């Protein structure tokens, strides 16, 4: 890990400056949290696995025309990324009902949604990341109407690419969370990470509902074999040429 003073430390990553102000180093930690950090733990090897999975998925998305912050992966836990100012919105895309959608709507776990649902949440730990409507985003001056439309369109394009990609890994992409930011030229880039921490991923070969879970729900719900699930995702993702 770098001896440089971090610019920022989050729950799962540490961001370091580099000699180039347009480039940052993102260090992926083994630390895991859930329920707005009320539950804390470690998933051994998670940092390196999430870094490798994210790097591969960012490459796939870039080759499919999605602008991302990813530059390269200089070491197992580190990713060089373009510096962006992060928009404080977590954009969640859902294909199948799970998690908070089930809790808040009563839809049964596993219900296939008739269209990909895009939900916005305020990236604010102190407030507990509440859901935002487009009007509330405008009210808080977080993004313009055009930018909200752009976020939605990019998220839906990413969903199409990743759904097909995970399908080729025999994994169902249930839902996932994205973050975006603006670079120094005001270009909108996909940022943060895409990993079993930020996606729900179900193994299509599994025969029961607990065994199918290959993502952070194993940690959230104490399902066990967390490291093995992340390793399974990594193996399948990295085996796909992008």
Which 3 state secondary structure label does DSSP give 45? coil
Of residues 120 and 176, the one with the C-beta less far from ligand TMP: 176
The minimum distance between CB 90 and ligand ASP, in angstroms, equals 9
30 binds ligand ASP (CB under 6 A): no
The minimum distance between CB 212 and ligand ASP, in angstroms, equals 18
Residues 5 and 20: their CA atoms lie apart, in Å, by 15
CA–CA–CA angle 179, 184, 189 (5° rounding): 25
Of residues 46 and 82, the one with the C-beta less far from ligand ASP: 46
The minimum distance between CB 35 and ligand TMP, in angstroms, equals 8
The minimum distance between CB 111 and ligand TMP, in angstroms, equals 13
Q: Which residues contact 116 (CB under 8 A, 6 or more apart)?
A: 93, 94, 95, 156, 159
Contact residue for ligand ASP among 113, 152, 157, 220 (CB under 6 A):
220
Residues 103 and 139: their CA atoms lie apart, in Å, by 27
Residues 183 and 215: their CA atoms lie apart, in Å, by 30
Of residues 145 and 167, the one with the C-beta less far from ligand TMP: 167
Contact residue for ligand ASP among 6, 15, 17, 34 (CB under 6 A):
34
33 binds, among ligand ASP, ligand TMP, none (CB under 5 to 8 A by kind): ligand ASP
């Amino acid at each position: 890990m770098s001896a440089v003073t971090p610019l920022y430390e989050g729950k799962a990553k540490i961001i370091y400056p580099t000699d180039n102000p347009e480039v940052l180093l993102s260090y992926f930690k083994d630390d895991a949290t859930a329920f707005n950090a009320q539950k804390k733990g470690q998933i051994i090897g998670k940092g390196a696995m999430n870094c490798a999975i994210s790097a591969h998925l960012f490459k796939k998305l870039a080759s499919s025309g999605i602008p991302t912050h990813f530059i390269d992966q200089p070491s197992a836990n580190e990713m060089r990324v373009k510096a962006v100012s992060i928009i404080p919105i977590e954009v969640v895309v859902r294909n199948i009902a799970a998690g908070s959608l089930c809790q808040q709507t009563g839809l049964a776990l596993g219900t296939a949604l008739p269209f990909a649902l895009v939900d916005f949440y305020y990236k604010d730990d102190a407030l507990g990341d509440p859901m935002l409507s487009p009007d509330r985003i405008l009210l808080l001056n977080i993004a313009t109407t055009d930018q909200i439309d752009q976020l939605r369109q990019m998220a839906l394009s990413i969903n199409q690419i990743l759904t097909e990609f995970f399908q080729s890994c025999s994994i169902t992409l249930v839902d996932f969370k994205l973050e975006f930011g603006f670079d120094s030229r005001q270009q909108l880039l996909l940022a943060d990470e895409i990993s079993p921490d930020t996606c729900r991923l179900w193994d299509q070969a599994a025969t029961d509902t607990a065994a199918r879970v290959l993502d952070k729900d194993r940690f959230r719900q104490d399902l066990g074999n967390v490291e093995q699930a992340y390793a399974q995702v990594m193996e399948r993702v990295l085996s796909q040429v992008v």
